[in-house]
Chain A
Amino acid sequence: MSIPAGIPLPLTSVQATWLLVERNIITYRSAWKLFITGFLEPVFYLLSIGIGVGQLIDTFEFNGQTIPYAEFVAPGMLAASAFNGALMDSCFNFFFKLKHLRLYDSVLATPVGTADVARGEVIWGQLRGGSYSAAFLVVMLLLGYIHTWWAVLALPAALLIGFAFSAVAMACTTWFTSWQDFEKVTLVQTPLFLFSATFFPVTAFDGWLRWVVECTPLYRGVVLCRELTTGTVTLDSLVSVVYLMVMGVVGLLVVRKRLDTLLLT
């Protein structure tokens, strides 16, 4: 046994953050079926809407390029699945751990702090979401939907989307009191998923409505992924990157603050 008698140096924040990730990996070892099947969701969407409905649609124009419908929908699914996965993890799973498992009450009795908890949970969500995104990109490649090297950057883009939504969703979840509150998640999640130009071009909206859509975070993510997988990257793409980054960092700061008020009172 090598536990020093005096007060040992507390963990570094990197170590503490990683410990939360380690705990989640262990719990997932027994739920591997759930882990594997999570990857299928965007693929099913791609096959159903992209190919099934796609046969009713000829081509779309995107940033001056004419592309088949399936190639148009695929990057949308990549972004949307990062978004859905982040919400799933950061709302349901985080709420369960926070309120039912009371996991953090016991964690915070150790040298691990609230900032470590917030970072650890977001990183875990990114590991999970990132592996799904990578697999989905491979599927796109196999289906012949990728013709540019820019598409490699779609993976970090998906991670960025996941990070931004994880952090904000987790922050919102800290205000939830019962499972009934998850209807509010559905209320935000469904329209974002359906109207963020995932399934059709933003030109379907007119005037101010189009402006509103272009300002929503998932739209920024969808467009970013689409620009990367179709190789039509412009300087404007950076707007989306900065937008999502700011969103994630702010979310993370709020999570930490909220955990302080919830758990350290």
Chain B
Amino acid sequence: MTESEIASTAEPMIWARGLRKSFGTGESAFEAVKGIDLDVRRGEAFGFLGPNGAGKSSTMRMIAAVSPVTAGELRILGRDPETDGPAIRARLGVCPQEDTLDSELNVRDNLVIYARYFGIGRADARARADELLELVNLTEKAKAKVDDLSGGMKRRLTIARSLVNRPDLLLLDEPTTGLDPQARHVLWDQLFRLKQQGVTLVITTHYMDEAEQLCDRLVVMDKGVVAAEGSPAALIREHSSREVAELRFGLGDVGADGADGAGANPHETHAADVADLGDRVEVLPDRLLVYSADGDEVLEAVHDRGLRPVATLVRRSTLEDVFLRLTGRTLVD
């Protein structure tokens, strides 16, 4: 190993300080990413979580060296995307949010031609294509047209395509959106194996279970900034309680004080009754969530107070609770 290569292994795969991205100018300008810091280390699986419009995809495109940085500093594999774009892209694998397969080519040619774009020789490209088709179980479909593949197959082909140059850094933008549960699990297995082989993964996702399964570390992005950062377990510890007690009251149950409850949300009226039982109480149209270290204790206390919810559930806190806590429940489009 030469000295410079040793230096590059010590270097973080992705390093960003005050990274910003805006679109348009003047009055119509829109800032998608508002100054974020990132450090992604070699071999790690790193996740971006956030609602639509949080700035995840803009960040991913900057990391993929196809979108110029508006302000701040960004280094990918120790290089500046502004000047070394082609060299960086040569070592990246990109799996975009929407499949951008070449429907004018058959399945195998999609991989062969894509490999050629990386300067891989024709014979090597063919061998690599066959190897990847095997990996994603599409060998039988080699000659098929892309349009004839199912959604899951297309996704697998896109993933295979992103691996064609044996990337050091694999960027996956919502890799399992639109897949059925079987296909998701197959994909998770494959991503896990890649990680074991030392590939650095960067994933954006809406799926909390996916983030918990795959990511060593993640950031929650909201409105262009990093709202929280850490491992899934640490985030849950920090931003939620250990357990959640869910209480569902009947529609006519308007609470002990018997206020003019007709038509009111019973969960609204009961919130005050249980407010002191947990670290935090959240009112939803159909249930009350009580965040607490011990959910069963909460339930007992509820019964002791003479409250009669029609249904109850105690569960462990998840990343989803953290996510909703940090980014709110309002719909974002």
Q: Chain A residues in contact with chain B, CB under 8 A?
A: 1-3, 6-11, 15-16, 19, 22-23, 26-27, 101-103, 105-113, 263-265
Contacts and interface: CB of A to CB of B under 8 A. Distances in A.
9 contacts: A10-B90, A26-B109, A101-B104, A106-B161, A109-B64, A109-B94, A111-B87, A112-B117, A265-B23
Contacts of A6: 5
A23 B68 contact: no
B309 interface: no
Interface string B50-72: 00000000000000101110000
Given A2-B124, A7-B77, A101-B103, A22 B89 contact: no
Given A9-B87, A19-B116, A110-B114, 13 more contacts: A1-B124, A2-B124, A6-B5, A7-B77, A10-B87, A19-B113, A26-B109, A103-B100, A105-B100, A106-B96, A109-B96, A264-B66, A264-B68
A263 B66 contact: yes
A110 B89 contact: yes
B178 interface: no
A23 B113 contact: yes
A8 B87 CA distance: 7
B127 A1 contact: yes
A1 B128 contact: yes
B91 interface: yes
B119 A15 contact: yes
A110 to B, nearest CB: 4
B120 A3 contact: yes
B102, B119, B127, most chain A CB atoms within 10 A: B119
Contact of A109 (B5, B92, B127): B92
Contact of A103 (B98, B102, B109): B102
Given A8-B119, A263-B66, A264-B66, A22 B102 contact: no
Nearest to A263: B66
B105 A27 contact: yes
A206 to B, nearest CB: 48
Interface string B70-102: 000000010100000111111110101010111
A205 B298 CA distance: 94
B105 A109 contact: no
B98, B101, B104, B114, most chain A CB atoms within 10 A: B104
Nearest to A111: B86
Tell me what chain A mostly uses at the interface: helix, strand, loop, or mixed. loop
A228 to B, nearest CB: 36
A265 B67 contact: yes
B317 interface: no
Contact of A22 (B66, B104, B116): B116
B121 interface: yes
B104 A111 contact: no
* B contact residues, range: 35 or more
B205 interface: no
Contacts of A265: 23, 67-68
Contacts of A101: 100, 102-104
B166 interface: yes
B117 A107 contact: yes
A109 B102 CA distance: 14
Contacts of A26: 105, 109, 113
B23 A7 contact: no
Contacts of B86: 10-11, 111-113
Contact of B104 (A2, A27, A107, A109): A27
A198 to B, nearest CB: 33
B23 A105 contact: no
B24 to A, nearest CB: 10
Given A10-B90, A19-B116, A23-B113, A102 B100 contact: yes
Nearest to A28: B104
A6 B96 CA distance: 24
Contacts of B109: 26
Nearest to B64: A109
Contacts of B88: 7
B129 to A, nearest CB: 12
